[in-house]
Chains A and B, each alone.
Chain A
Amino acid sequence: MYTLDNVSKTYKQKQRTVTALRDVTLTIPSGQLVAIQGPTGGGKSTLLQMLGALDRPSSGTISLGDAELSHLPDGKLGRIRATEIGFVFQGFNLIPTLTAQENVETALEPLGIPAAERRQRATAALESVGLGDRAGHVPTELSGGQQQRVAIARALVKEPDVLLADEPTGNLDEQTRDEIMDLLEGLWRDRGLTLVIVTHDSAVAKRAERRLHITGGVVTERG
């Protein structure tokens, strides 16, 4: 479960101070599917980075379970990311020189899992997203939807508690978007994940249990 208490985030841009998050107080129970919407520059991605332990708030506290993410050192944040949080990005962010199988294996590298087990789990993860026959292909040999499936397999192969998706369907056509959302929703249900999706797309947001709106760094609930 995420607990955010008066979380603010400010950036220095040249002479200007930009407030990306303003006193955000929020709780996200485990296993919930949450959609975050809002205009560009409203603070969606910053909030997702706070939830993903990629950045620390300027003030306030943010906890994931028992871990207080605001004050943990980089090494421990990295460990939490490696074990508990999966990421899916709008641009897929696959390593272009590695095959689908190897891309999925990169998520297991920080866990020190033996090579044989790593290969086995990566194969299973690819099969779970319907790409068992594409394991040896590099990203440029895959369609956008297939690349996003590889990214989802990479996020889930380590069996995290949380899956954070930043515009996961932003680069996909409608049909592929629905396929990816079906996949994410199915995995969410099957695995009991906490799934947080940042999206511009209302069709995607409507599939969430809970919808948050963020503008000017202020988070509000939407019905």
Chain B
Amino acid sequence: MFFTYLRRELAGRRRQTAIIAIGMALAIALVMIVNAVSTGVRDAQASVLESVYGVGTDLTVSQDATPPAEGERPDGGRFEFGADDGRTADGSTQLAQSRLTAGMGQSTFDASALDTVQDIDGVAAASATLSLTNVTFSGEMPDFSAAQGTDGAPTAEGGTTGAPPAGGADGAGGSAFDVDSFTVLGLDPAAESVGPLSAVELADGRGLELGDAGQHVAVLDADYATSADLAVGDTIDIAGTSFEIVGTVTSTASDGQSAANVFIPLDVAQSLSGLDGQVTDIYVQAASSDVIPSVQADLEAALPDQTVNTQSDLASTVSGSLGTASTLISNLGLWLSVAVLAAAFLIAILFTIQGVTRRTREFGTLKAIGWSNRRVVGQVAGESLVQGLIGGAAGLVVGLVGIAVVNAIAPTLGSTTATTPQAAGPAGFAGGGFAGGPGAAQAATATEVTLNAPITVEVVAIAIGLAILGGLIAGAIGGWRAARLRPAEALRSVA
């Protein structure tokens, strides 16, 4: 009788059933899509962060860069050439100089902080890195000695005597200069479990090994090696020193970006950059996710001059369209879902109450012929639950279609990760500013990721759960109304 009555009621009140089901379906579909996209954005953020912070990094320690004081010249921003520097031939002077300096926006601090970090309870592993940028300034200028007088003395008019300038880049006394830069990350070859090396896999050759400390060996990002036409066995010039390329690596992150173009032993990086005993970042892996807050607090107490970031802090550094999507999803998407869901629940509740009110005589009659309160309430709740489930099933289908559409479109989101080691192109001015230059604010890694909205068990469970919840809430309220009907009053009210 229960199912016969239920079926007849739902079939007999198709319009009401359809309105409730459509409302629930739209709300559930929206929640599913928002949830799936939110998961996709989270995955994308994690991927972006993974590429620069490595897998398993729970916290990072760094030091904010201090802007130069007025009139102060930033460190590392100047190339100086002596009068006799360069090679002169055919009336031109070839000049080249490489500088290895701390990455843009990166500030160094004492490497002894690593020992402090490792002594803190709850720290499972930690490694320090030195993020650097190698900038090569090279060019051709005329041989001015040839343009001066034989004694090189200035004339009375302030000029020089002798022939006009010749040679140079254009052969007529002009000059031309190139600036080439790539990112260099000095790291401890023994620390692979945490830090940037945990997010790469070997493409060719070998990785950095314990015995490489103090050696002029380098591992290159495979993409960078290809673009710079370098391979294992070749050499690369870093700060005027030749390094043997012993291997290439590729990122395991979905965006394919490595943390740097070139990886070298930390002690060598410190020595070449003149930053002995200095590091720019410490990567920390906590013993468990539960202890991350306490480890963060302990780190902040132990290292008051440094900045300690958790993964969630790091996620907030992701900007660009990915950051915008994250903000949209977490704000607009969430509240839109809540609003639509609340509206759908409200519609279901109001229609159920309206249905009970309209069926006052019906329920009064049933109670008059001996139906118990529980039986009447069960009937009302059952009808609402089934309406919710119909809406849930429709919502599940619409939601899955919506997620499939998102995945078919596969929008590409750009992201910029601030305060990270740089990973610039071979001839790029990483992050949009010259290393250490006045305009430098923060290092930044620009990447693009394809948004994938995953269909998870959680998403399906949310749809089914919401359908049941909506049906139960509407049924409970409608049933409560039905239970309050006294048969005599119910029959009298329509007499």
Chain A residues with CB under 8 Å of chain B are 45, 49, 52, 54-55, 74-75, 78-79, 81-83, 86-87, 89-91, 93, 95-98, 102, 105-107, 109-111, 115, 118, 154-155
CA distance in complex: A93, B365 (Å) = 7
A54 touches B372 (CB 8 A): no
The answer on a CB contact under 8 Å between B8 and A97 is yes
Asked, given contacts A79-B370, A91-B494, whether A98 binds B365 with beta carbons under 8 Å apart, the answer is no
| Closest CB in chain A relative to B196 CB, distance in Å | 68
Partner of B12, one of A96, A105, A115: A96
Report the minimal beta-carbon distance from A111 to chain B, rounded to whole angstroms.
8
Contact of B369 among A74, A87, A91, A115 (CB under 8 A): A87
Question: B361, A93: Cβ atoms under 8 Å?
Answer: yes
Chain B residues near A102 (CB-CB < 8 A): 1, 4-5, 8
Residues of A within 8 A of B492 (CB): 45, 49
Is the contact region of chain B dominated by helix, strand, or loop, or is it mixed? helix
User: Across the two chains, which residue of chain B brings its CB closest to A54?
Assistant: B488
User: Once the chains bind, are A110 and B369 in contact (CB under 8 Å)?
Assistant: yes
Q: In this complex, what residue of A is CB-closest to B487?
A: A54
Q: Of B366, B368, B372, which contacts A52 at CB under 8 A?
A: B368
- Contact present for B369 and A107 (CB under 8 Å): yes
Given A89-B491, A91-B494, A110-B375, is A83 in contact with B361 using a C-beta cutoff of 8 Å?
Answer: no
Within 8 A of A (CB), among B453-495: 486-488, 491-492, 494-495
Contact of B370 with A78 in the complex, beta carbons under 8 Å: yes
- In contact, B365 and A89 (Cβ under 8 angstroms): yes
Instruction: Select from chain A the residue with minimum beta-carbon distance to B372.
Output: A78
In the complex the two chains form, what is the Cα distance from A90 to B369 in whole Å?
A: 15
**Which of B8, B370, B488 has the most chain A CB within a 10 Å cutoff?**
B370
Show 23 residue pairs from A and B whose CB-CB distance is below 8 angstroms, ordered by the A residue.
A45-B495, A49-B492, A78-B373, A82-B370, A82-B371, A86-B369, A87-B365, A90-B495, A93-B362, A93-B364, A95-B365, A95-B366, A97-B5, A97-B12, A98-B4, A102-B5, A107-B370, A109-B371, A110-B369, A110-B370, A110-B371, A110-B372, A111-B370
Specify which chain B residues have a CB less than 8 angstroms from the CB of A74 in the assembled complex: 373
B371 touches A95 (CB 8 A): no
Determine if B9 is an interface residue (Cβ-Cβ < 8 Å). yes
B99 at the interface (CB under 8 A from A): no
Q: Which 5 A-B pairs have the closest CB atoms?
A: A82-B370, A97-B12, A110-B370, A55-B488, A54-B488
Q: Can you name 20 extra interface pairs (CB under 8 A) apart from A75-B372, A89-B365, A110-B369?
A: A45-B492, A49-B491, A55-B486, A78-B371, A81-B369, A82-B369, A86-B369, A87-B365, A87-B368, A93-B362, A93-B491, A95-B365, A97-B8, A97-B13, A98-B5, A98-B8, A106-B1, A106-B369, A111-B370, A154-B369
Question: B353-386: which residues lie under 8 A (CB-CB) from chain A?
Answer: 361-362, 364-373, 375
CB of B11 within 8 A of chain A? yes
How far is B1's CA from A95's CA once the two chains are assembled, in angstroms?
13
Which residue of chain B has its CB nearest to the CB of A95?
B362
Chain B contacts for A96, CB-based, 8 A: 12, 362
Interface residues of B in 2-37 (CB under 8 A from A): 4-5, 8-9, 11-13
Question: Which residues on the A side are within 8 Å of B361 (C-beta)?
Answer: 91, 93
* Distance between Cα atoms of A118 and B4 in the complex (Å): 13
Q: How far is the CB of A42 from chain B (nearest CB, A)?
A: 14
Contacts of B9 in A (CB 8 A): 97
Are A109 and B368 in contact (CB-based, < 8 A)?
no
> Taking the nearest CB of chain A, how far is it from the CB of B17, in angstroms?
12
How many A-B contacts if CB must be within 8 Å?
A: 83
Expressed in whole angstroms, the Cα–Cα distance for A14 and B62 within the complex equals 75
Q: Tell me, in angstroms, the Cα distance from A91 to B12 when the chains sit together.
A: 20
Closest to A90 in B: B495
Question: CB distance A105 to B1 under 8 Å?
Answer: yes
Closest A residue by C-beta to B371: A110
Complex alpha-carbon distance, A106 and B366, angstroms: 8
Report which residue of B9, B362, B369, B373 has the largest number of chain A beta carbons within 10 angstroms of its beta carbon: B369
B14 smallest CB distance to A (angstroms): 11
Most B CB contacts (10 A, CB to CB) among A52, A83, A97, A107 go to A97
Nearest CB of chain A from residue B2's CB, rounded to whole Å? 9
The residue on B at minimum CB distance from A84 is: B370
Closest chain A residue to B366 by CB distance?
A: A106
**Complexed CA–CA distance, A154 and B494 (Å):** 20
Does A54 lie within 8 Å of B368, measured CB to CB?
Answer: yes
By a CB distance below 8 angstroms, the chain A residues around B5 are 95, 97-98, 102, 106
State how many angstroms separate the Cβ of B182 from the closest Cβ of chain A.
Answer: 77
Contacts of A95 in B (CB 8 A): 5, 362, 365-366
For B487, the chain A residues whose CB sits under 8 A away are 54
**Cross-chain contact A109 with B362 (CB below 8 angstroms):** no
Question: In whole angstroms, what is the CA distance A49 to B8 when docked?
Answer: 30
Q: Are A109 and B375 in contact (CB under 8 A)?
A: yes
CA gap between A45 and B371 in the complex, in Å: 21
A73 to B: closest C-beta gap in Å: 12
Task: List the B side residues contacting A49 at CB < 8 Å.
Answer: 488, 491-492
| Chain A minimum-CB-distance residue to B492 | A45
Report B-chain residues with C-beta under 8 Å of the C-beta of A115: 1
**Chain A contacts of B370 at CB under 8 A?**
78-79, 81-83, 107, 110-111
Residues of B contacting A98 with CB < 8 Å?
Answer: 4-5, 8
Q: How many Å from the CB of B136 to the closest CB on chain A?
A: 85
Complex Cα–Cα for A122 and B367 (A): 19
Chain A CB count within 10 A is highest, among B373, B375, B488, for: B488
A83: chain B residues at CB < 8 Å are 370
Closest residue to B9 on the A side, CB-wise? Answer: A97
B206 to chain A, nearest CB (A): 78
A109 to B375, CA, bound (A): 10
Residues of chain B with a CB closer than 8 A to A105's CB: 1
Residues of B within 8 A of A55 (CB): 486, 488
| B11 near A97: Cβ-Cβ < 8 Å | yes
- Once bound together, how far apart are the Cα atoms of A87 and B4, in whole Å? 23
Q: State the CA gap A97–B495 with chains docked (Å).
A: 21
User: In the complex, what's the smallest C-beta–C-beta distance from A151 to chain B, in angstroms?
Assistant: 9
The smallest beta-carbon distance between B411 and chain A, in angstroms, is 48
Instruction: Give bound CA distance, A143 to B449, whole Å.
Output: 70
**Residue with the greatest number of chain B CB neighbours at <10 A, chosen from A89, A95, A115:** A95
Taking each of B9, B12, B365, which has the highest tally of chain A beta carbons within 10 Å of its own beta carbon? Answer: B365
Give chain B residues whose Cβ lies under 8 Å from the Cβ of A45: 492, 495
